[in-house]
Structure 1
Amino acid sequence: MEYFDIMSQACKDVALPFNEDTYNKFSQYKDMIKVWNEKINLTAIVDDEQIFKKHFIDCIKIFKFSPLKQAKNVIDIGTGAGFPGIPIKIMKQELNLILLDSLNKRINFLNEVVSKINLNNVETIHGRAEDFSRQPKYREQVDVAVSRAVANLAVLSELCIPYVKVGGYFVAMKGPSVDDEIKDGKRAISILGGKIDDIIKINIEDSDLDHNLVIIKKVKETPKAYPRKAGTASKKPLK
């Protein structure tokens, strides 16, 4: 229970309850990250304290965007080791979660996490974001799309916004310097049917880390031409 208090403090900051059962799920998740990280590259962060702060608490802070608490379904694009999707699901177990990643080894890891810590209503998808958002089952179907991927905002927007229903949101988790990305991405966001609604600064307890949540509201349907075929968004970002 070494990190229970700091996790509890972080949850209090976003007005969410936290208990021993929730903490145990995060602890199991942390242990699995460390075991699997020896087989496949999940994260460069392997110290327990840093996993709790730089991964778990950082992801929990996405609830600073309070409409996420009312979301019924969420997709995490380029989820990697499950960030921020798995922490979101642990904190709000009633929502339906889709985890999408292009590497099947990571999907295998996520399937084991979902099974071991008893998370229901989680769908894992192995594939490219550009391919699945063209399918009627997924296109403009989710309340909130989230991503902590490293691509710039223009690229991420083309990958994520097509999944969001009109009136829903795309939340991009970004580092401290987002001004240039926002300036460069504004036109792409508009083309794709979104508008920047808010930028929420977040900080991590007991650390000097500070990040931003870029909140993009879906205000109109994404034109059928988008997303372009796989790989195009990163090679030729919309400007």
Structure 2
Amino acid sequence: MKKNDSPTVADVASLLKREGFTPSETELEALTGYLTLVMKWNKVMNLVGPYSWQDVLTILIIDSLHLNEFLRSLPLPVTPTTWDFGAGAGLPGIPLRALWQEGQYYLVDVREKRAMFMEQTVKRLRIRNTDVYKGRVEDFMDEHEPADLMLSRAFMPWKKLLELVGPNIKPQGRIVILALETVPADLTEGWSVEKEIFYKVGKDTRYFWSLVKA
């Protein structure tokens, strides 16, 4: 398996198995398709930086597989409305939707080229109930009913995020933050920690915080 080769389903399955994941054949095909499109588009626009596909899979996409398991451990509605702000290259949302397809999912980014990439990728991979919105998150929230779930991966500092998005989360909803640190002791008043986990990616420790309105 050469470093610069395009990944096959078997390649992806083998690498993910080493990481402790065994997706179904359908899920593997979608993950491989996403990875292939990321590497293709990355040649003409800087989607993910100078990574090999192996690195994209085991450093970036791997979060989506952990997130799939985390979301399934939460008491979410049967068909939740989920927002993914600053979605960029479709991470974590598009590979997540290859595994977790509950409810309606919105990928939101103000950058035209990234929104175009996500739109074409969602269409090409036939990912259901997943929409792309190009524009400001403030405009998006004005145009949509409150959400059950909001995902944030380096979209903005968590305090500002809770202030901005909090009023647009349903009373029984939650915000899940992908972080590089544990939940701080000075969590914003009005919010509490529902659940927190951590996992290793190489030498890094990564965290998920599920925050609910207190």
Tell me if both proteins adopt one fold, taking TM over 0.5 as the criterion. Answer: yes
Structure 1 residue 183, shift from structure 2 partner: 4.1
C-alpha distance in 1 between matches for 2:50 and 2:213: 34
How far did residue 150 of structure 1 move? 4.8
- Distance in 2 separating the partners of 1:44 and 1:216: 31
Seq. identity, %: 23
Letter in 1 for 2:212: K
The equivalent residue for 2:205 is 210
- Does 2:65 match 1:57? no
* SS state at 2:11 partner: coil
Q: Is the 8 A contact 1:145 1:161 kept in 2?
A: no
1:163 aligns to 2:172 (yes or no): no
Q: Tell me the distance in 1 between the aligned counterparts of 2:11 and 2:35.
A: 13
Residue 123 in 1 paired to residue 131 in 2? yes
- The residue number in structure 1 matching 2:103 is 95
Q: CA offsets per residue over residues 57-106 of structure 1, 9 Å max, x none?
A: 11221232412775522110111111111122110234311000111111
Q: Which residue does the alignment assign to 1:3?
A: 12
Residue 196 of structure 1 is aligned with which of 193, 202, 205?
193
| Structure 1 residues 71 and 126, CA gap change in structure 2 (3 angstroms) | farther
How far apart are residue 35 of structure 1 and its match?
A: 1.4
1:38 is displaced (CA, Å) by: 2.1
Compute the RMSD of aligned alpha carbons.
2.3
| Greater length-normalized contact order (CA 8 Å, ≥ 6 residues apart) | 1
- The residue aligned with 2:116 is 108
CA contact (8 A) 2:174 2:211 kept: yes
Change in 2 beyond 3 A, CA 1:159/1:27: farther
Distance 1:46 1:58 in 2: 16
Q: 2:93 aligns with which of 76, 85, 91?
A: 85
Equivalent position to 2:30, from 25, 28, 32: 25
2:84–2:151: 8 Å Cα contact kept in structure 1? yes
Asked if the contact 2:150–2:176 (Cα under 8 Å) also holds between the matched residues in 1, the reply is yes
| Structure 2: gaps spanning 5 or more residues | 1-9
Q: How many residues align?
A: 202
Amino acid of the structure 2 residue aligned with 1:198: K
Q: Give the alignment's TM-score, normalised by structure 2.
A: 0.83
| 2:141 equivalent among 133, 137, 140 | 133
Change (3 A) 1:68 1:173: farther
**Which secondary structure state, in structure 2, belongs to the residue aligned with residue 43 of structure 1?**
coil
Is the 8 Å Cα contact of residues 199 and 213 (structure 1) preserved in structure 2?
A: yes
